[in-house]
Amino acid sequence: MKRISRVKDKFSNYNFGFGDIYQIWSYKPMRIAIAGLLLIPLIYSFIYLSAFYDPYENMKHLPVPIINEDKGVTFHDEEIQVGNELVEKLKEDDKLKWEFVSRAAFNKGLQEGDYYLGVVIPEDFSEKAISVSDSKPLKGHLDYIVDESNNYISSQMGESIITGIENNLQEKLTQIYVEQIFEKLDESTQKMAEAVEGAEKLAEGAEKAGQGAEELTKGIGVAESGAEKLLAGNQQMANELDKANQEIRNKKSAYMDEYDKAKEIQKKVNDLNRDFQKWAKGEPVNIDLATTVADLKNLLGTEQDRLVPTKEKLEQAPMLLNDLEKQVEGVSDHAATQKLYDLLKESNDNLAKTIELNEKSLDGVVQVEANLKKYEEERKLVASQANQYTNTLNSGTNSLAKLDDKLKDVGKAVDGAKQLVDGQSQLLQGLQKLLAGGNQLQSGLDQLADGQSKLAEELGKGVDEAKQGLEGSKEKEEMIANPVDVDKKRIHSVPNYATGFAPYFISLSLWVGAMLLFTIVDLYGVLDKPNGAPLSLTSGALIGVGQAIILISILIVGIPIEPELPWILFLFAILLSITFIAINQMLVATLGNAGRFFAIILLMLQLTSSGGTYPVELLPDLFKAIHDYVPMTYSIHGLRAIISSGDTAVVVQDAYILIGFMIGSFSITRIHLRLVKPMLQKQMSKLKLRKQ
């Protein structure tokens, strides 16, 4: 019997935990505790995941007041009511509980906590919406009012709500803006069409102007040629006038010499006549009449010889004046030249008469000399001839005086001819410049005509392209207002909020279950083992297995969660539960009550650093640093792969790490119980003996 009893005791030490469970279960008050321990992870996860299964699905119950104060505006004889259009569009949206209220009702609801947020459409919203056509367009705005103290999460949801409203408004406003732009483009196209017609007419006008410029250039060329000939003729005329003027002046000088000689002869004839009269009366005279008559004869003969060439020269003057008259035809001083010609002719006639009388006087003197005795009879004849000579000479003198006056007119004509030559020279230079400018003008007009033709052609193409581009403007307005359609392609889709957070809450629930296993239930007192050994790892593992199986089963069926790898989910949850139990057992076995407290601290650190809610990149540096060293990091990562992605490689990798945590914790526990704790107990016993 004793042997059998020893065998039973030995078997009880190797019962793989079932004996501990049976011993606990046999204590009736602990049955409820064991049942509670098995259900705690389930209760924890199920309540959270069912409550937050898909809160965004219930946003249709979230009241969002819209306060529309937009007064609208008239634009191009069309009533624009952007605020009303937004309200009508929101009424068709049942994703949120839109409530269209006044500002007073909104303020009251916000104060009483009925509203968390609200959107106000200002009264000038439509006016600013159409200001895009102004030189300084105004940007429309919405007033987003939120009371974050009432509910912070609702305010965060409101951010996405206002973003959606902004997108709707941007689409509508963009459509309005584009519609205005297309209207302006259509007007511009029509004006471009008018510009095409104008450019074509301008091209025709430029072509005609080019033809006119060509004719003008030809005319200027002809005028230039005529001006050159006229300049040459006038230059020659001026030279001839100057030459004639000089010759006439020379002839005048010669004639004046003859005139002086004639006056001397006249004086001698008068003296002779006076002496003859005295002699005829018997009065004494102081001169020798015979000698005086001989001298007068010689003098008249000499003058006769000198007057003949002078007469010949004067006879040439009319010919010179005739040539001069031909050259100055059309000149303003032609009349003066004609008078000069008449005076020269008159002077020539008088000189001829003077020569004739001089010849007669010479003959008379000869007769006086031959017939001195007959002088009395002939004296009257000589005196008469001398008087005629004197009268003729006086007439010539008067003609010469008139000739002198006309010579001044000839000088003026010569100066005028020179000025005319200078003016025509300047005219010729101006015509040459005008001809060059005409050529440039013709070239420029040709280029202008080509450019206008090309402009009209290109404008025509532009109008055609613009009209083609404006086709289907309504569809283009909608496309520009909403140019991008986003095709959301889900990789490893997560259907709801509960599925997304299941890895986080499963890990949290199993840790809480393991922690309570060593915190709420005093297993040492229940078992009351003589050797003071805690609940074996196998016994705790059995409870953990029960927790994992119950938890996963109800989540799959009750929530429901649809994992990609359902059977692996059970195995991974069992591994995770045993690992967490091993860690908590290590903390309690080595640290006692301090270990229980540290288990809670470790839970908080894992919840904040494991990346279960926000990406680890968004965490503070402290939590980033411990992220890789806490087991819940790998439990959440592995559960996400099992539930959503189905990546077995990730699952295996995370499972190995968790097994490492489990083996490490179990090893520390065994070392502490086998070596450290007995040594500490011996030391305590020795201290007690010494005190006794």
pLDDT of residue 222: 62
Domains and CATH numbers, the chain: 57-192 (3.40.1710), 231-440 (no CATH), 493-691 (no CATH)
Pair of tokens at residue 360: 């007669």
Q: Which residues contact 137 (CB under 8 A, 6 or more apart)?
A: 128, 131
CA 524 to chain centroid? 84
Residue from 547, 544, 502, 525 nearest 665 by CA: 544
Give the pLDDT score at 427: 61
Q: What is the pLDDT of residue 524?
A: 44
Which residue in this structure is represented by tokens 């629930």?
509
Contact 580, 606 (CB under 8 A): no
Judged by DSSP in three states, 98 sits in strand
Q: What is the pLDDT of residue 632?
A: 96
pLDDT score recorded for residue 5: 41
| Helix or strand run (H / E) with residue 313 | helix 289-327
**DSSP states along 590-638:** HHTHHHHHHHHHHHHHHHHHS-SSS-GGGS-HHHHHHGGGSHHHHHHHH
Q: Alpha-carbon distance 325 to 212, whole Å?
A: 40
Q: Which residues of the chain have pLDDT under 70?
A: 1-30, 132-135, 137, 155, 169-173, 175-238, 240-242, 244-245, 247-259, 261-263, 265-266, 268-273, 275-488, 520-537, 691-692
pLDDT at site 651: 96
Virtual CA dihedral for 525, 530, 535, 537, nearest 10 degrees?
170
pLDDT in the model for residue 135? 64
Closest CA to 227 of 417, 432, 428: 428
Q: DSSP letters along 245-297, please?
A: HHHHHHHHHHHHHHHHHHHHHHHHHHHHHHHHHHHHHT---SS-HHHHHHHHH
β-pair partners for 460: none
- Angle of helix 152-281 relative to helix 334-370, nearest 10 degrees, comes to 10
pLDDT at 662: 95
- The residue behind tokens 């008259």 is 325
Side-chain half-sphere CA neighbours of 511 within 13 A = 24
Cα–Cα distance list, 18 to 22, 464, 525, 539, 542 (Å): 6, 93, 18, 6, 8
The model's pTM is: 0.56
Write down the pLDDT at residue 292. 62
pLDDT of residue 641: 95
* pLDDT at site 462: 60
